[in-house]
Structures are given as C-alpha cells and as structure tokens.
Amino acid sequence: MPILESLPERLLLGPGPSNAHESVLRAMSLPLLGHLDPAFIALLDRVKDGLRTVFGTRNAMTLPLSATGSAGMEAALVNLLEPGEPVVIGVNGVFGGRMAEVARRAGAQVTKVEAEWGTILEPGRMIEAIRTVRPRVVAFVHAETSTGVCQPVEEIAAAAREADAMVVLDCVTSLAGRPVELDAWGVDAAYSGTQKCLSCPPGLSPVSFSDRAIARVKARSTPVQSWFLDLSLLAGYYEGEKRVYHHTAPITAIYGLAAGLDRVLDEVLPARFARHAAAGERLVAGLEAAGFTPLVAPAHRLPMLTSVLLPERVQKAGEASVRTRLLEEHGIEVGAGLGPLAGRIWRIGLMGENARPEIVDRLLAALRTLIG
C-alpha cells in the first residue's frame, strides 16, 4: 500500500483534527470485537462514564454517536424539535448558522439572534428573544470553531429553562479543553467531536441528553425524522441490561476514544484545562509579537482555538500560499478563515496533545522563517 506508507507527518494546528497520542493510535489497531460482545459492552459503558465526567453531567443518555460532530448537532435538534415548533438560535459564526439550517430542515420555526463574528452573543439579546418567542428549544455554541469565541452559557440557559425551553449547546471544540458543566449550567443536550481536545481521530460525536430531554423526546407527537439518530431507538443499544441491535457501533473508533479518555482522566481535568489555557496565552503573545492581531477580545478567547487577523506581509504574500508553505516546508497545518473571515484570519488550534509550549514554539519558529 504505497500511498498509505508514504503519508507525510503533520503537526495539526488547525481547527481540528488534532494529533492523537500514540496510545490512542495503538488502541485503534486492536483486533475487533462484535458490537454485542459482553467485553465490548463493558468497554462502551466505561467510555460513557468517561464522557459523563468531561461533560460535567450525570445524564444516563451520554454516549459516543456513530458519526462525526455535525451528526451530533443534527441528533440534538431533530430529537428535540417537532415540525412547526419555535426555536431560538444564536448565530455568531459558522456553527450557529449550521444549527439554524439543521433546525429549518427539521421544519422548526427558527428565530436567529445574530452577533458579529468574533464577538459573543449578548446574553441580554438572547434572553429577550427567549421571552418574546417562548421557544421549545434554545440552541447556541459554547466554543465557536469558526471564530475562536467562548460563549458564556449560564445566564442564557437559566432564562431558557425559566421559559420551559430545552437548552442545546455545541461543545465540539470546548470538550476536554476547558470546563463544560452541563448539569450545573442546566444544559439539556450537548454534542462534541472526538478530533478536538479529546485528541482522538474524527468519526464519533460524544452526545449527552438530560432526563428532561429524553422525556420530551418520548412525548413527541411525530416520529423523529431520522431513524439513524432517533434517541429512543439508540437507547435500546446504549442503555439498560439487555442491549438490542440498532446499528453496528464503530468498534475501533470506540477503542480509540477509550484510550483518549484514559489520557484525559489520568491527567485530571483541571490540569488539562490549565495546560490549554497556558498554551493559548503563549501562542497569543507570540503571534502578537509577530504582527498578528487577535480577533477576539481577551475575556472571550478560546484557549484551544486562536483566531488572528493577518499582518500585512502575510496578506501581501497571499495567506493561502503562506499556509501551503507552512504545510509543505514545515509539516504544520493551520486553518483558514471561513465565511466573512475567509482570507482575513487564520485559526490556530492547540487542542489536546498539542496544547504544549514546545508546540507553540515550533509554530512560531516556523512562522519566523516564512514571514521574518
């Protein structure tokens, strides 16, 4: 298999995937078990426990969905919304916009609360919309991967619950890199991806649903539009004494996630969060010294995803060609801007295994050789 043997080595400092630790990659090559094998079910149960810890929840319905993070988003929205129901969605980047599109396709009445990309959703505006619309669901993004903004959650979630709305939170980029506290915050449904701060390969979407959310799903008057993502059906396989076949779980990916969670929990979460915070600060300082300007105000920066406006000499050289040289000459991937930020920013991820000072320094040194 020449093409596989000749894959280049990359330091993945884009918006994800991040690099996986050797122990995770090793786990991916373990021989397969059947998805109903008691040994596999025991492993799956341990993975669910680990996910509860990183999500900050006791939700029974916490599991690695058998698809990527976008499917987790879709699962949260299509289970909790019925056609015609009102939903308030915060949109200050690609992923809030994607939520609105997913909800629209599920037949919901979507009210968007928009904010400039690179800023947070003002809680007051979200709360006003909640009180006006009286939605069934309020959905927003904790860590906007398209901008690097970290959204304060609690005030909006409290107002949503007061209005008897379900709270859906996108934790794709935050999970295992900074505190996520679903139970304390009052979040009813959250989803993430394995390829960010969990430092596993992409392919699974950790999700968690509160008992309140499950009760809402059970009380639906219409079937969930997706058979594959229907929580009531998924519960038959992921919960309870006797596990019933729904679909074939991706065994190998779950091995990888088990190994990844082992590393996360061995490190202990507060230490892991501190490591991400320190790496993010070091990166911002270094980039500022090199002429880049952070897009996001200090109070709302994500440590694991830094978005920076480009200095003039990068713009002149063509930002895409500088990224290509970074990849080809230094083996380092960073991310481009999306939507209105395309061509204007880079997105630099320090996620999971990569949130370390030596990684930051390697990137800064490479940048110096390219742009002086």
Q: In the window 243-272, what residues touch its own copies (CB under 8 A)?
A: 245-253, 255-256, 258-259, 262
Query: 3-state DSSP call for residue 320?
Result: helix
Q: Out of 16, 123, 177, 206, point to the residue binding its own copies (CB under 8 A).
A: 16
Cα separation, 285 vs 372, in Å, equals: 16
Complex with its own copies: residue 71 or 350, whichever CB lies closer: 71
- Identify which range of 55-63, 69-77, 126-134, 281-289 contacts its own copies by CB under 8 A: 69-77
Query: Contact letters (x/-) for its own copies, 150-179, by CB under 8 A?
Result: ------------------------------
Task: Report the distance separating Cα 331 and Cα 347, nearest Å.
Answer: 16
Closest contact distance (angstroms) between CB of 281 and its own copies is 25
Using CB under 8 A, which of 61, 80, 102, 308 touches its own copies?
Answer: 102
Q: Closer to its own copies by CB, 19 or 208: give it.
A: 19
Site for its own copies in 180-199 (CB under 8 A): 193, 195
For residues 18 and 14, give the distance between their C-alpha atoms in angstroms, rounded to a whole number. 7
300 binds its own copies (CB under 8 A): no
Taking the least distance from each CB to its own copies, the nearer of 36 and 289 is 36
The SS3 assignment for 201 reads coil
Helix (H) or strand (E) holding 147: none
Q: Rule CB under 8 A: is residue 97 a binding residue for its own copies?
A: no
Considering the complex, state which of residue 42 and residue 289 has its C-beta at the smaller distance from its own copies: 42
Q: In angstroms, what is the C-alpha Rg of the chain?
A: 21
Distance (Å) of CA 372 to CA 284, 291, 332, 361: 17, 10, 17, 15
**b/e 96-109 (16+ beta carbons within 10 angstroms → b):** bbbbbebbeebebb
With a CB cutoff of 8 Å and minimum separation 6, the contacts of 168 are 76, 77, 80, 99, 137, 138, 139, 140, 187, 188, 189, 190
For its own copies, the closer of residues 10 and 300 by Cβ is 10
Stretch of residues binding its own copies (CB under 8 A), selected from 225-233, 281-289, 290-298, 304-312: 225-233
Interaction of residue 203 with its own copies, rule CB under 8 A: yes
Query: What is the footprint of its own copies within residues 108-147 (CB under 8 A)?
Result: none
Q: Which helix (H) or strand (E) holds 157?
A: helix 154-162
Return the number of the residue (327 or 370) whose C-beta is nearest its own copies: 327
Options 67-75, 147-155, 177-185, 283-291: segment touching its own copies (CB under 8 A): 67-75
- Cβ atoms of residues 231 and 6 within 8 Å: no
Query: Is residue 30 within the footprint of its own copies (CB under 8 A)?
Result: yes
Site stretch for its own copies (CB under 8 A), options 4-12, 135-143, 173-181, 307-315? 4-12
Q: Is 215 in the site for its own copies (CB under 8 A)?
A: no
- The two tokens of residue 338 are 């999306």
Cβ proximity to its own copies, 158 vs 327, nearer residue: 327
Q: Please, are residues 147 and 176 in contact by the beta-carbon 8 Å criterion?
A: no
Query: Nearest distance from residue 294's CB to its own copies, in Å?
Result: 23
Query: Angle at the Cα of 120 (from 312 to 161), degrees rounded to 5?
Result: 165
Q: Please count the other Cβ atoms lying within 10 Å of the Cβ belonging to residue 252.
A: 17
Interaction with its own copies in 327-346: which residues (CB under 8 A)? 327, 333, 338
Task: Check residue 68 for interaction with its own copies (CB under 8 A).
Answer: yes
Assess 4 for contact with its own copies (CB under 8 A).
Answer: yes
Least distance in angstroms from the C-beta of 18 to its own copies: 8
Q: How far apart are CA 5 and CA 11, in angstroms?
A: 18
